[in-house]
Amino acid sequence: MTHSSRKKALWLVCSLSVTFAIAQPTPEPVPETLAPASTSPVPAPAPTATPLANPSAAPNPTPSATPTPLPLSAPNLSTAPTVDASQPNPTAADFSDTILPLNFSDPGLPPPPQVTPNLSDVAPSAAAVQKSTQEAAAQIAAFAASIRNPNVPDFTLDDAVKTALAKNPTLLNAVQQIRFTRGQVIEITAQALPQIDAVAGYQQIASELADPKTPASSGGNTINIPLPDGTTVPLNLGGSAGRYVNDKSWNVGFQASQLIYNGGAVISGIRAADAVESGAYFLLRQTINDVVAQVKIAFFQVVLNRALIVAQKQSVDLLAEQLKDQENRYEAGTVPRFNVLQAEVALANAQPPLIQAQNNLRISMYQLVKLLGMDYSPAKPSEVPFNVVGNLTYVARTINIDESVRMAIERNPALKAQRQNLLAQAQNVNVQFAGYLPTVSAQADYSWQNNNAFQSLTEVTQGWTFGFVGSWAIFDGFETKGRVMQANAQLEQAVNNYNDGVRQVILDVQEAISNLQTALETVQSQEASVLQATEAFRLSQERLDAGAGTQLDVLNAQTQLLQSQTNVLTARYDYITAQAQYNLALSLDAQYEELFDDPLNPNERKRFAKITNPTAPQPPLPRKLRDQDPISGFAANAPDAPVATPTPSPTPVASDGKSERKARVPGRK
């Protein structure tokens, strides 16, 4: 590489860095309470990428010897929508993918500082900035084209989420858990309904048991009847030869029973089963949210690893070019052999990170396949069944910590599932306490059976019986007491778990917001660092060419530039990951169509939407626990707080720009 070409390439590097540095908007002041977005929802731009249908038409993937600061595409930053401060209560749309610059209204967390690099030495024109941005984006597009498999479809983030909702095994198991709990409800409800049984029987006994012989001392089967005149008359009573006893019997009939009272155990059991079933619906909703977040993180992990390969490959190519340059200088006698050895060692040391980055990309692709629940082709089981289409574009957002916590407590389905479990355990205490009370049932039957007075089995008698059966355990060895103690202990455990669940939700929100702030600050600082490292690399190279510097200075500057590029990529990925965790904590991914449709009940989708409506009021706790309700005053629909009306979330756009999904109002089909 000639000195002039190297300076030209460095100019492009600086141009791209300037684009990243000046494109970041200055945070705007945020009111104490985040207001709802404007009446017309603002669609949030999703990462976009143009599918490379014709790999041969893609730019030449051969990298330049000069490093280009990564990520290789400028952030997609749109104008922030206006915020109406007259509306104090946020809605679900205010916490969705609305494009707003990140800011924090909490005095304890000041806005991230803006780092403005000194661009006096590099002031490219708008045309130069645009050109450098296009060339940088072409490099990663060229690498994506070089590894694209034309035999499998392209997958955007939206495609990946839809596939996971249909095939992810964890999600499918959550659907089956709903059917399991529904069966429990039916089983317990059956105890309160009449029980009708059809019965039939046939019996035959030994003739010795049916007609036992009379002992000889009893005079056989004849007795003497005394008369008034003193005489007796023998009376034959019959015997084995004089009478017949039927040794066969049969009966057919119906028996019915109805539980009348058992201390309220059945009613409490039904209520507990209903709570468990509702908890299963909330767990399904939580599983959907978990899967969506996991898919987002895994999807962008692939995109990150792919971009890191480009960064590492640029470093290797640059070191290879430096080695060639030092060899030419050595042959010309202008540098010692030591410079060549240094360049060889640096090039060798750069190879393992590139190899590791390539391995990370393969592993992340395999993990994404498993997460989506997809199967490999039997003919080619080593071939990943899709191409990932996307980039690390991110959009900053405005976050209000207090309102985020309120929204999370109101919407989080895992917390609602724990509340349902608490209600179920409270009803279980009543079930076990019913052991101290009596049980009363009514029974009735109607039957047909043979008449044992006749030898023929066709002689039939029929009739009905009706009565009541009751029982009361006067003393059961303290068995009921032990069961009540167990139920009370389980209730206390449920209370403790629910209280801790509230704290966990708050922690998840706080961690996600803190990670958002950290990632954004890192991106801002490292984008400026890339610009500075690029300039330092240029100066070190010029000093070496002029004989005033050393080759070690050049290698150190190149290493620092690579580190800054990697930090920017990782920070962008961290921001996207923190966004996914934030959406998970607040249950904001309800715009995806849940592919849950129970074939046994056509109305199951409607029932699922009704039960898991994110803004539906939560059921009250048992009377003795209401004063200890940990969400009292927290949730947006608490008695002392106005109810937030949900509005449709902004429409996510597939990263290839070819499809647009409709937002769905939570709780509506």
Quick check: is 234 in a domain?
yes
Quick check: is 173 in a domain?
yes
Question: Percent of the chain at pLDDT above 90?
Answer: 35
Cα(651)–Cα(313) distance, integer angstroms: 37
Quick check: is 436 in a domain?
no
Q: What are the tokens at 388?
A: 């990932």
Q: How sure is the predictor about 22, in pLDDT bands with cuts at 50, 70 and 90?
A: very low
* 338 & 466 share domain: no
Q: For 513-538, what is the mean pLDDT?
A: 83
* 162 & 238 share domain: no
pLDDT greater than 70 at residue 587: yes
Cα(512)–Cα(504) distance, integer angstroms: 12
Give residue 632's pLDDT. 84
Cα(52)–Cα(338) distance, integer angstroms: 45
Considering Cα of 507, then 80, then 124, then 75, what sign does the dihedral take?
Answer: positive
Cα(644)–Cα(403) distance, integer angstroms: 11
Q: For 305-327, what is the mean pLDDT?
A: 87
Give residue 659's pLDDT. 35
* 275 & 404 share domain: yes
* 566 & 457 share domain: no
Q: How sure is the predictor about 384, in pLDDT bands with cuts at 50, 70 and 90?
A: very high
Give residue 317's pLDDT. 87
Mutual orientation of helices 337-372 and 157-167 as an angle, nearest 10°?
A: 40
* 554 & 408 share domain: yes
Mutual orientation of helices 337-372 and 551-586 as an angle, nearest 10°?
A: 10
Quick check: is 315 in a domain?
yes
Quick check: is 462 in a domain?
yes
pLDDT greater than 90 at residue 426: yes
Could you give the 3-state DSSP secondary structure of residue 124? Answer: coil
Cα(55)–Cα(53) distance, integer angstroms: 6
Give residue 609's pLDDT. 80
CB-neighbour burial class of residue 216 (10 A; exposed 0-12, middle 13-18, buried 19+): exposed
Q: How sure is the predictor about 458, in pLDDT bands with cuts at 50, 70 and 90?
A: confident
* 353 & 414 share domain: yes
- CATH, residue 350: 1.20.1600.10
* 406 & 537 share domain: yes
In which residue are the tokens 């300039």 written?
A: 535
Per-residue pLDDT reduced to its tens digit, 623-657: 888 888 898 877 544 433 333 333 333 333 333 33
Please list, in sequence order, all residues whose beta carbon lies within 8 angstroms of the beta carbon of residue 41, skipping any fewer than 6 positions away: 93, 647, 648, 649, 650, 651, 663
Cα(47)–Cα(454) distance, integer angstroms: 92
- Mean pLDDT (the chain) is 73
Contact 44, 395 (CB under 8 A): yes
Give residue 591's pLDDT. 60
Quick check: is 19 in a domain?
yes
Cα(58)–Cα(365) distance, integer angstroms: 22
> What kind and span of H or E run contains 199?
strand 195-204
pLDDT greater than 60 at residue 48: no
Give residue 635's pLDDT. 57
Give residue 505's pLDDT. 94
Beta-bridged to residue 446, according to DSSP, are 254, 464
Q: For 80-102, what is the mean pLDDT?
A: 35
Give residue 104's pLDDT. 34
Quick check: is 639 in a domain?
no
* 446 & 462 share domain: yes
Give residue 454's pLDDT. 72
Quick check: is 648 in a domain?
no
Name the nearest CA neighbour of 646 among 34, 32, 37, 30. Answer: 37
* 458 & 502 share domain: no
* 289 & 351 share domain: yes
Question: Percent of the chain at pLDDT above 70?
Answer: 68
Contact 41, 91 (CB under 8 A): no
**Worst-scoring range by mean pLDDT, 45-59, 123-137, 393-407, 492-506?**
45-59
Give residue 50's pLDDT. 33
pLDDT greater than 50 at residue 533: yes
Per-residue pLDDT reduced to its tens digit, 319-364: 898 898 889 889 988 888 998 998 899 899 999 999 999 999 999 9
Higher model confidence: residue 75 or residue 345? 345
In which residue are the tokens 């044992």 written?
A: 452
Strands in 195-204's sheet, in edge-to-edge order, are 195-204, 248-261, 439-450, 460-471
Q: Can you give the residue range of the structural domain that contains 574? A: 3-79+92-187+267-425+487-628
* 175 & 223 share domain: no
Query: What are the DSSP E strand ranges found in 451-519?
Result: 460-471
Q: What are the tokens at 556?
A: 């150190």
Cα(29)–Cα(101) distance, integer angstroms: 10
Q: For 453-474, what is the mean pLDDT?
A: 86
> What kind and span of H or E run contains 222?
strand 222-226
Q: How sure is the predictor about 507, in pLDDT bands with cuts at 50, 70 and 90?
A: very high
* 25 & 159 share domain: yes
Count of structural domains, the chain? 2
Give the number of C-alpha atoms closer than 13 A to the C-alpha of residue 358, restricted to the C-beta side: 9
Q: What are the tokens at 663?
A: 């937002």
How does strand 154-155 pair with strand 387-388? Answer: parallel
Considering Cα of 157, then 158, then 159, then 165, what sign does the dihedral take?
Answer: positive
Give residue 552's pLDDT. 76
Please name the amino acid found at residue 244.
Y
The number of helix segments (H) and strand segments (E) in the chain equals: 12, 8
**Worst-scoring range by mean pLDDT, 183-187, 227-231, 290-294, 432-436?**
227-231
